[in-house]
Amino acid sequence: MLRPLALGAIALPLVFIGVTMVHAADAPAPAAPAKTPDYALARSKIALPTRSLIYKKVGDRELAMYIFEPAGHQPTDRRPCFVAIHGGGWVAGTPTIMNCVGEAFAQQGWVVANIRYRLHKPVEGTTVFDSVKDAKSAVRYLRSHARELGIDSEKIVAGGRSAGGHLAAATALFPDIEEESDDKSVSCVPNALVLCSPVIDTSAEGYGFALLGEQWQELSPLHHVRPGLPPTIILHGMRDTITPFAGAKAFDEGMRAAGNKIQLIAHERGGHSYMMRTKELFDEAMGQILPFLMKNGIEGTK
């Protein structure tokens, strides 16, 4: 059973062409989204991981994942695992901004791996392709080390906000982008995806086209939809001016046409990463994400 969540506003679900629209009844429109998610920033300094470990080495660089574990967790447990991926347009950001996610899922009986990945830094020779490779390597690491980490290798969920949502989707959508040193016999495809205000369309109508240039289509989730993808939930603000809502809507339609399971939560007054701005909005989002995962056979064990 889910632990009760303190929701600051009552969401009124409306059915609209397969999309769930939510808004607060008679509430004033919120202020424009802050550049840094306020709630996420506050919890980043308070909600701390249980431990960290190195999941990948590239040259002389080590990439860490920061582990959040439920109280009393044991290696003999077989808990679901959430791979949390931070945003920042692939060029900035740190894993700590996702600490609130680690805390919330751990309280629901999950193990969470909040990952660090290589950012797009041409001066260092790293690109978004490397970011994608790292996200896929992280899923493979968790799946291959499931027994010692106390997780269920068939209940691994990848999720993130903004560019992190893109990288979560990339673990399932881009089979041709691989780290040469990875063990390809271990699947990097998660059992479900949780995408919050994701970069989902990298064309000129979406986000990332200026940075990706002529390679944009190779890294555009919208343009790689096919049958057999994991169950996916998207939370996206209809007032998002950074990653346009139109991309999320088109992705939802494409997934449905391909026969995949998907739920799109369209927040009528939400801007970019709206679900990370206040505790009330964050709790509301968790109250939508957890039932979706339960419906698809992935539930925390307490």
Distance (Å, rounded) from C-alpha 150 to C-alpha 162?
A: 29
Which residues lie closer than 8 Å to 168 by C-beta, 6 or more apart?
A: 83, 85, 135, 158, 159, 160, 190, 193, 194, 195, 198
How wide is the angle at C-alpha 130 spanned by C-alphas 202 and 197, nearest 5°?
Answer: 40
Lowest-confidence pick of 18-22, 85-89, 157-161, 252-256: 18-22
In a domain, 129, yes or no: yes
Q: How many residues does the chain have?
A: 302
- CATH number of the domain that 256 lies in? 3.40.50.1820
Distances (CA, A) of 20 to 68, 169, 233, 249: 30, 20, 11, 11
Q: Contact, 158 vs 139, CB < 8 A?
A: yes
Q: What are phi and psi of 61, to 5 degrees?
A: -100, 135
The token pair that represents 230 in the structure block: 């994991």
Mean pLDDT of 77-103: 97
In a domain, 165, yes or no: yes
pLDDT, one tens digit per residue, over 175-229 is 999 999 999 999 999 999 999 999 999 999 999 999 999 999 999 999 999 999 9
Mean pLDDT over all residues of the chain? 90
β-bridge pairing 61-68 and 51-58? antiparallel
Lowest-confidence pick of 20-24, 110-114, 149-153, 209-213: 20-24
pLDDT more than 70, % of the chain: 87
Q: Contact, 302 vs 109, CB < 8 A?
A: yes
In a domain, 28, yes or no: no
Question: Sign of the C-alpha dihedral, residues 235, 254, 292, 150?
Answer: negative
Position with higher pLDDT, 16 vs 124: 124
Distance (Å, rounded) from C-alpha 279 to C-alpha 277?
A: 7
Residue 25 has pLDDT above 80, yes or no: no
CA 197 from centroid of its chain's CA atoms:
9
CA 10 from centroid of its chain's CA atoms:
24
* Domain encompassing residue 184: 14-20+34-295
Mean pLDDT of 272-283: 96
In angstroms and rounded to an integer, the radius of gyration of the C-alpha atoms of the chain is: 18
At what angle are helices 279-295 and 99-107 packed, to 10 degrees? 50
Number of domains present in the structure of the chain: 1
In a domain, 95, yes or no: yes
Question: For the CA atoms of 116, 121, 123, 125, what is the dihedral angle to 10 degrees?
Answer: 70
In a domain, 7, yes or no: no
The SS3 assignment for 161 reads strand
Which residues lie closer than 8 Å to 42 by C-beta, 6 or more apart?
A: none
Distances (CA, A) of 65 to 62, 106, 190, 199: 10, 15, 17, 22
Distance (Å, rounded) from C-alpha 173 to C-alpha 7?
A: 33
Q: Contact, 196 vs 159, CB < 8 A?
A: yes
Residue 113 β-bridge partners: 67, 83
Distance (Å, rounded) from C-alpha 169 to C-alpha 189?
A: 9
In a domain, 289, yes or no: yes
